[in-house]
Amino acid sequence: MNAVISLHHLVFSMLQRTAAFLLPSLARLVFAGVLLVYFWNSALTKIGDGILGIFKPSLGAYAQIFPRQMEAVGYDVSQLGAFPWLVVTAGTLAEFILPALIVLGLFTRLAALGMIGFTIVQSLTDIVGHHADAATVGRWFDRASDALIMDQRAFWLMLLVTLVLMGAGPLSLDRLLSRQAASG
Protein backbone atom coordinates (compact mmCIF):
# COMPACT_ATOMS: atom_id res chain seq x y z
CA MET A 1 0.00 0.00 0.00
CA ASN A 2 2.87 2.40 0.78
CA ALA A 3 4.22 1.84 -2.73
CA VAL A 4 0.88 2.90 -4.26
CA ILE A 5 0.74 6.01 -2.07
CA SER A 6 4.35 6.88 -2.92
CA LEU A 7 3.66 6.45 -6.64
CA HIS A 8 0.55 8.62 -6.31
CA HIS A 9 2.51 11.38 -4.56
CA LEU A 10 5.35 11.18 -7.09
CA VAL A 11 3.09 11.39 -10.14
CA PHE A 12 0.85 14.14 -8.85
CA SER A 13 3.65 16.23 -7.37
CA MET A 14 5.27 16.23 -10.82
CA LEU A 15 1.96 17.29 -12.37
CA GLN A 16 1.53 20.01 -9.79
CA ARG A 17 4.96 21.41 -10.62
CA THR A 18 3.97 21.62 -14.29
CA ALA A 19 0.72 23.43 -13.47
CA ALA A 20 2.31 26.90 -13.70
CA PHE A 21 3.42 26.03 -17.23
CA LEU A 22 0.48 23.95 -18.32
CA LEU A 23 -2.63 25.75 -16.99
CA PRO A 24 -2.05 29.26 -18.38
CA SER A 25 -0.86 27.88 -21.72
CA LEU A 26 -3.92 25.63 -21.99
CA ALA A 27 -6.22 28.45 -20.85
CA ARG A 28 -4.95 30.67 -23.67
CA LEU A 29 -5.24 27.83 -26.18
CA VAL A 30 -8.82 27.09 -25.12
CA PHE A 31 -9.63 30.81 -25.22
CA ALA A 32 -8.26 31.01 -28.77
CA GLY A 33 -10.16 27.91 -29.87
CA VAL A 34 -13.49 28.74 -28.25
CA LEU A 35 -13.84 32.50 -27.69
CA LEU A 36 -11.50 34.45 -29.98
CA VAL A 37 -13.61 34.10 -33.15
CA TYR A 38 -16.83 34.46 -31.12
CA PHE A 39 -15.78 37.90 -29.84
CA TRP A 40 -14.26 39.05 -33.13
CA ASN A 41 -17.41 38.08 -35.04
CA SER A 42 -19.47 39.92 -32.46
CA ALA A 43 -17.29 43.01 -32.90
CA LEU A 44 -17.63 42.80 -36.69
CA THR A 45 -21.43 43.11 -36.36
CA LYS A 46 -20.92 46.46 -34.62
CA ILE A 47 -18.73 48.16 -37.22
CA GLY A 48 -20.35 50.75 -39.48
CA ASP A 49 -19.66 51.31 -43.15
CA GLY A 50 -16.39 52.59 -44.54
CA ILE A 51 -12.78 52.55 -43.51
CA LEU A 52 -13.53 54.37 -40.25
CA GLY A 53 -16.54 52.18 -39.52
CA ILE A 54 -15.18 51.35 -36.08
CA PHE A 55 -15.87 54.97 -35.12
CA LYS A 56 -19.30 54.97 -36.77
CA PRO A 57 -20.96 51.96 -35.13
CA SER A 58 -23.79 50.18 -36.87
CA LEU A 59 -27.41 50.49 -35.79
CA GLY A 60 -27.15 46.89 -34.64
CA ALA A 61 -24.30 47.81 -32.29
CA TYR A 62 -26.51 50.24 -30.42
CA ALA A 63 -29.41 47.78 -30.45
CA GLN A 64 -27.18 45.04 -28.99
CA ILE A 65 -25.71 47.18 -26.22
CA PHE A 66 -28.57 49.58 -25.47
CA PRO A 67 -31.71 47.65 -26.49
CA ARG A 68 -34.20 49.47 -24.27
CA GLN A 69 -32.88 52.93 -25.06
CA MET A 70 -32.91 52.20 -28.79
CA GLU A 71 -36.49 51.03 -28.60
CA ALA A 72 -37.43 54.16 -26.63
CA VAL A 73 -35.99 56.49 -29.30
CA GLY A 74 -37.47 54.52 -32.21
CA TYR A 75 -34.03 53.23 -33.25
CA ASP A 76 -32.86 56.76 -34.07
CA VAL A 77 -29.22 56.76 -32.96
CA SER A 78 -28.98 60.56 -33.25
CA GLN A 79 -31.20 60.87 -30.17
CA LEU A 80 -28.84 58.95 -27.91
CA GLY A 81 -25.96 61.37 -27.45
CA ALA A 82 -22.23 60.97 -26.94
CA PHE A 83 -22.11 58.55 -23.99
CA PRO A 84 -23.74 55.61 -25.81
CA TRP A 85 -21.43 56.22 -28.78
CA LEU A 86 -18.44 56.13 -26.45
CA VAL A 87 -19.63 52.90 -24.78
CA VAL A 88 -20.38 51.18 -28.10
CA THR A 89 -17.09 52.25 -29.67
CA ALA A 90 -15.06 51.24 -26.59
CA GLY A 91 -16.92 47.91 -26.39
CA THR A 92 -16.28 47.19 -30.04
CA LEU A 93 -12.59 48.00 -29.73
CA ALA A 94 -12.41 45.86 -26.57
CA GLU A 95 -13.93 42.90 -28.44
CA PHE A 96 -11.07 43.08 -30.92
CA ILE A 97 -8.16 44.09 -28.71
CA LEU A 98 -8.65 42.16 -25.45
CA PRO A 99 -9.01 38.70 -27.06
CA ALA A 100 -6.00 39.38 -29.29
CA LEU A 101 -3.91 40.35 -26.26
CA ILE A 102 -4.91 37.15 -24.46
CA VAL A 103 -4.02 34.94 -27.41
CA LEU A 104 -0.68 36.69 -27.87
CA GLY A 105 -0.01 36.57 -24.15
CA LEU A 106 0.58 40.31 -23.98
CA PHE A 107 -0.65 42.19 -20.89
CA THR A 108 -2.58 39.00 -20.30
CA ARG A 109 -3.66 39.62 -16.71
CA LEU A 110 -5.11 43.04 -17.56
CA ALA A 111 -6.72 41.76 -20.76
CA ALA A 112 -8.30 38.83 -18.90
CA LEU A 113 -9.54 41.20 -16.20
CA GLY A 114 -11.05 43.39 -18.93
CA MET A 115 -12.71 40.34 -20.49
CA ILE A 116 -14.18 39.39 -17.11
CA GLY A 117 -15.76 42.83 -16.87
CA PHE A 118 -16.88 42.61 -20.48
CA THR A 119 -18.50 39.20 -19.91
CA ILE A 120 -20.33 40.41 -16.80
CA VAL A 121 -21.67 43.48 -18.63
CA GLN A 122 -22.60 41.31 -21.63
CA SER A 123 -24.49 38.91 -19.36
CA LEU A 124 -26.33 41.69 -17.54
CA THR A 125 -27.26 43.28 -20.88
CA ASP A 126 -28.64 39.95 -22.09
CA ILE A 127 -30.67 39.48 -18.90
CA VAL A 128 -31.91 43.03 -18.29
CA GLY A 129 -31.77 44.67 -21.70
CA HIS A 130 -32.75 41.75 -23.93
CA HIS A 131 -35.02 40.04 -21.36
CA ALA A 132 -33.31 36.66 -21.67
CA ASP A 133 -35.73 33.89 -20.73
CA ALA A 134 -35.19 31.54 -17.78
CA ALA A 135 -33.78 28.76 -19.97
CA THR A 136 -31.18 31.09 -21.47
CA VAL A 137 -30.20 32.47 -18.07
CA GLY A 138 -30.26 29.05 -16.45
CA ARG A 139 -29.28 28.33 -12.90
CA TRP A 140 -26.63 26.47 -11.03
CA PHE A 141 -27.05 23.21 -9.18
CA ASP A 142 -29.70 21.90 -11.54
CA ARG A 143 -29.44 18.88 -13.79
CA ALA A 144 -28.94 20.89 -17.00
CA SER A 145 -25.55 22.31 -17.92
CA ASP A 146 -26.45 24.05 -21.16
CA ALA A 147 -27.68 27.50 -20.14
CA LEU A 148 -25.96 30.22 -22.15
CA ILE A 149 -25.45 32.61 -19.27
CA MET A 150 -25.12 30.94 -15.86
CA ASP A 151 -23.48 27.75 -17.12
CA GLN A 152 -21.51 28.66 -20.22
CA ARG A 153 -20.24 32.02 -19.03
CA ALA A 154 -19.20 30.56 -15.68
CA PHE A 155 -16.70 28.46 -17.63
CA TRP A 156 -15.54 31.54 -19.54
CA LEU A 157 -14.99 33.37 -16.25
CA MET A 158 -13.11 30.44 -14.73
CA LEU A 159 -10.79 30.40 -17.74
CA LEU A 160 -10.23 34.15 -17.46
CA VAL A 161 -9.68 34.03 -13.68
CA THR A 162 -6.98 31.42 -14.30
CA LEU A 163 -5.20 33.90 -16.56
CA VAL A 164 -5.60 36.77 -14.09
CA LEU A 165 -4.13 34.70 -11.27
CA MET A 166 -1.45 32.77 -13.16
CA GLY A 167 -0.55 35.08 -16.04
CA ALA A 168 0.04 34.02 -19.61
CA GLY A 169 2.49 31.21 -18.98
CA PRO A 170 5.90 30.58 -20.47
CA LEU A 171 4.90 30.70 -24.14
CA SER A 172 3.87 34.35 -24.22
CA LEU A 173 4.97 37.84 -25.05
CA ASP A 174 4.57 38.70 -21.36
CA ARG A 175 7.30 36.20 -20.50
CA LEU A 176 9.52 37.51 -23.29
CA LEU A 177 9.08 41.10 -22.08
CA SER A 178 9.74 40.17 -18.44
CA ARG A 179 12.96 38.39 -19.46
CA GLN A 180 14.09 41.41 -21.45
CA ALA A 181 13.30 43.71 -18.54
CA ALA A 182 15.22 41.49 -16.12
CA SER A 183 18.30 41.33 -18.35
CA GLY A 184 18.39 45.00 -19.25
Tens of pLDDT, residue by residue over 33-82, are 999 999 999 999 999 998 899 999 999 999 999 999 999 999 999 999 99
Domain definitions of the chain by residue range: 21-183
Which DSSP letter does residue 57 get?
A: -
pLDDT value at position 1? 83
Q: Which helix (H) or strand (E) holds 123?
A: helix 108-124
Q: Which helix (H) or strand (E) holds 163?
A: helix 152-166
What is the separation of C-alpha 169 from the centre of its chain, rounded to a whole number of angstroms?
A: 18
What CA–CA distances, in Å, run from 99 to 47, 103, 135, 171, 181? 17, 6, 28, 16, 24
pLDDT higher than threshold 80 for residue 155: yes
pLDDT value at position 94? 97
pLDDT higher than threshold 90 for residue 19: no
pLDDT value at position 91? 96
| Residue percentage of the chain with pLDDT more than 70 | 100
Distance (Å, rounded) from C-alpha 22 to C-alpha 26? 6
pLDDT higher than threshold 80 for residue 30: yes
Tens of pLDDT, residue by residue over 7-17, are 899 988 988 88
Among residues 40, 51, 41, 46, the alpha carbon closest in space to that of 84 is found at 46
What is the separation of C-alpha 130 from the centre of its chain, rounded to a whole number of angstroms?
A: 20
pLDDT higher than threshold 80 for residue 151: yes
pTM score above 0.85: yes
